[in-house]
Amino acid sequence: MRIVSHPILEFQKGRPVKFTFEGQELPGCEGEPIAAALLAAGIRVLRESPRLHRPRGFFCAIGNCSSCLMVVDGVPNVRVCVEPLREGMRVERQEGHGDIR
Amino acid sequence: MKSVEVAMVGAGPAGLLAALAAAGQGASVVLIERDERLGGQLIKQTHKFFGSERQEAGARGFMIARKLAEAVAAEPAIEVRLSSQALGYYSDRVIYLEEPNGLVKLKAERTILTTGAAERMLAFPGNDLPGVYGAGAVQTLMNVHGVRPGRRVLMIGSGNIGLIVSYQLLQAEVEVVAILEAAPYVGGYLVHAAKVRRAGVPILTSHSVKEALGDREVRGAVVCRLDSAWQPIAGSEVSFACDVICLATGLNPLTELAWQAGCRMVYVPELGGHVPWHDDDMRTSVEHIYVAGDCSGVEEASAAMAGGWLAGLSAAASLGHDRGGAELRKAAREELVALRAGPTGAKIRKGLEALSRAGGPA
């Protein structure tokens, strides 16, 4: 899903990094939002709603709507549409409200 | 505690111009931005702006953002705080900021709220499925991060955002199956509509989305025709295969800080919902708080820049700074009037009239 050539834009991407989604290793670019790397890999279901267990995905891309909350390196409720991707991040789908230790 | 004369919350087009204006008048300025970069939503806008040369006509949004960010960096009176989220505004004029290194308290003699707007949701079954995305989000994903949102997009809304994002999807080699418009006419500028139509994208007026199809993700949409009362016409349903339903159905001003600070709020549908009452100098009912850009009424970036410039000049003037500010303010107000002239500005003019009819600050 990555755009390789564009009539107007050149994309300045960070260095290639690896991270895991539900234990599966995926490629991404350092510094891009985690959600961008997941969507580039075709992963669209990011969490489940707490009560009805409805799948939820990306929506606003400005950290405003809470649709994309995921568990990142064990920390729940991370807004992956604005959280920069780092090498080795462990990203998991969030179910429920998240366990805050 | 840190202190400053003027703080802007949000470094989009309004905040950037407000900062440059206030600093230019001699005020000390802190520009607060929750993102990692300056520019707000300008950074994803690849289309060329209209207007006059002073309004950057012919330039693309991301180029304007770059230019304004350079101007801000060259201005020693402006301190930029990135990755800084304003959490609250308190009666002693203190803003609480959440930053990577912890909480920061900032006392600002004047605060200019330039927080922008957020995408509006549309009610239909399945609207929470992954694949139903805001148009601004789609634009950010593909124009800033270089990732396509999907393969086949159904666009809801034919205002300028719906039309422009449809064209940008085509530029990113994504198929746009159709643009739906609930009204019986196209909402945005005809020059944008003509561009997508020439590229073969149908614009279906008096149509809306009835339901998103798909179990775990969007796989399609049921579309229906609307009658003159905007009600679905039974039997008119058609299904489209698509993996993205893109909502370009308008924006709501982001006004949490204004509410919390006790600004008098007025409901004006033409301005996008509840907006802080403000006078011709962009001052709200709380005398040390000013407002500009989409959070003062949803418009477009040119008006946000002119409004931000005016708010920055006004806030600086209220603190006694004067480097020809009165003349500049007059010119800024005239610029706003010119931007809102003509049939395309009718809605915003109506909204601003309603705001002014709503009376004074009390």
Find tokens 């005020």 and name the residue: B27
Q: Collect all residues of chain B within an 8 Å Cβ-Cβ radius of residue A42.
A: none
CA–CA distance, B184 with B189 (Å, rounded to integer): 15
Please give the interface size between A and B, counted as residue pairs whose CB atoms are below 8 Å apart.
Answer: 92
- Helix B301-318 to helix B13-24 angle (10° resolution) is 30
Q: Collect all residues of chain B within an 8 Å Cβ-Cβ radius of residue A81.
A: 137
The answer on pLDDT for A101 being more than 90 is no
The answer on pLDDT for A19 being more than 70 is yes
Give B290-303 as a DSSP string.
Answer: EE-GGGGS---HHH
The answer on pLDDT for B63 being more than 70 is yes
In eight-state DSSP terms, residue A24 is: E
The answer on pLDDT for A5 being more than 80 is yes
pLDDT in tens, B118-177: 999 999 999 999 999 999 999 999 999 999 999 999 999 999 999 999 999 999 999 999
Alpha carbon distances (Å) from B186 to B174, B204, B210:
22, 9, 19
Domain locations along chain A: 16-95
CA–CA distance, B212 with B244 (Å, rounded to integer): 10
In eight-state DSSP terms, residue B231 is: P
Average pLDDT of span A41-66? 95
The answer on pLDDT for A99 being more than 90 is no
Q: Collect all residues of chain B within an 8 Å Cβ-Cβ radius of residue A65.
A: 118-119
Residue of B nearest to A37 (CA): B147
CA–CA distance, B276 with B108 (Å, rounded to integer): 19
CA dihedral for B92, B80, B120, B275, sign (positive or negative): positive
- pLDDT at B54 (0 to 100): 63
Please give the structure tokens belonging to residue B187: 């909402």
Interface touch A6/B172, C-beta < 8 Å: yes
CA distance A60 to chain B (A): 5
- In 3D space, the residue among A34, A81, A55 whose CA is nearest the CA of residue B138 turns out to be A81
Average pLDDT of span A24-28? 97
Q: Percentage of chain A with pLDDT > 70?
A: 99
Q: Which residue has the higher pLDDT, A99 or A42?
A: A42
The answer on pLDDT for A28 being more than 90 is yes
The secondary structure element, H or E, covering residue B321 is none
Interface touch B217/A59, C-beta < 8 Å: no
Average pLDDT, chain B: 94
CA dihedral for B30, B36, B38, B42, sign (positive or negative): negative
Confidence of residue B53 (pLDDT cuts 50, 70, 90): low
Domains of chain B with bracketed CATH: 2-118+251-357 (3.50.50.60), 121-247 (3.50.50.60)
pLDDT in tens, B336-361: 999 999 888 899 999 999 999 887 77
- pLDDT at A8 (0 to 100): 83
Q: Are the beta carbons of B143 and A9 closer than 8 angstroms? A: yes
- pLDDT at B362 (0 to 100): 65
- For residue A68, how far is the Cα from the chain centroid? 7
Alpha carbon distances (Å) from B243 to A4, A57, B152, B166, B189:
21, 13, 6, 15, 27
In eight-state DSSP terms, residue B324 is: S
Average pLDDT, chain A: 94
Please indicate if any CB of chain A lies within 8 Å of the CB of B118: yes
Please give the structure tokens belonging to residue B89: 């505004």
Residues 173-202 of B with CB under 8 A from A: 173
Which residues, other chains included, contact B228 with Cβ-Cβ below 8 Å and sequence gap of 6+? Answer: B184
One-letter-per-residue 3-state SS of B172-230: CCCEEEEEEECCCCCCCCHHHHHHHHHCCCCEEECEEEEEEECCCCCCEEEEEEECCCC
Q: Are the beta carbons of B206 and B183 closer than 8 angstroms? A: yes
Q: Collect all residues of chain A within an 8 Å Cβ-Cβ radius of residue B146.
A: 2-3, 6, 9, 11, 13
The answer on pLDDT for B10 being more than 80 is yes
Confidence of residue B52 (pLDDT cuts 50, 70, 90): low
- pLDDT at B204 (0 to 100): 98
Please indicate if any CB of chain A lies within 8 Å of the CB of B171: yes
Give A26-62 as a DSSP string.
Answer: EEEETTSBHHHHHHHTT----EE-TTT--EE----SS
The secondary structure element, H or E, covering residue B59 is none
Residues of chain A that touch chain B, judged by Cβ-Cβ distance less than 8 Å: 1-3, 6-9, 11, 13, 32-33, 35-36, 39-40, 44-46, 49, 54-65, 67, 81-82, 84
Determine the residue among A44, A53, A54 to mutate to test chain B binding: the one whose Cβ has the most chain B Cβ atoms within 10 Å.
A44
- pLDDT at B55 (0 to 100): 65
One-letter-per-residue 3-state SS of B1-34: CEEEEEEEECCCHHHHHHHHHHHHCCCCEEEECC
**What's the full length of chain A, in residues?**
101
The answer on pLDDT for B51 being more than 70 is no
Confidence of residue B199 (pLDDT cuts 50, 70, 90): very high
The secondary structure element, H or E, covering residue B261 is none
Q: Are the beta carbons of B122 and B215 closer than 8 angstroms? A: no
Architecture of domain A16-95: Roll (3.10)
Please give the structure tokens belonging to residue B49: 């702006």
pLDDT in tens, B294-312: 999 999 899 999 999 999 9
- pLDDT at A4 (0 to 100): 87
The answer on pLDDT for B234 being more than 90 is yes
Please indicate if any CB of chain A lies within 8 Å of the CB of B100: no
Interface touch B217/A45, C-beta < 8 Å: yes
Q: Percentage of chain B with pLDDT > 70?
A: 98
Please give the structure tokens belonging to residue B299: 């418009």
Please give the structure tokens belonging to residue A2: 């990555």
CA–CA distance, B5 with B216 (Å, rounded to integer): 51
State the CB neighbour count (10 A cutoff) for residue B222: 17
pLDDT in tens, B244-291: 999 999 999 999 999 999 999 999 999 999 999 999 999 999 999 999
The answer on pLDDT for B16 being more than 90 is yes
Grouping H, G, I as helix, E, B as strand and the rest as coil, residue B79 is strand
The lowest-confidence range among A21-35, A58-72, B57-71 is: B57-71
Give B142-159 as a DSSP string.
Answer: HHTS-B-S-SEEEEE--S
CA–CA distance, B351 with B345 (Å, rounded to integer): 10
CA distance B137 to chain A (A): 5
Average pLDDT of span B1-21? 97
Residue of A nearest to B119 (CA): A60
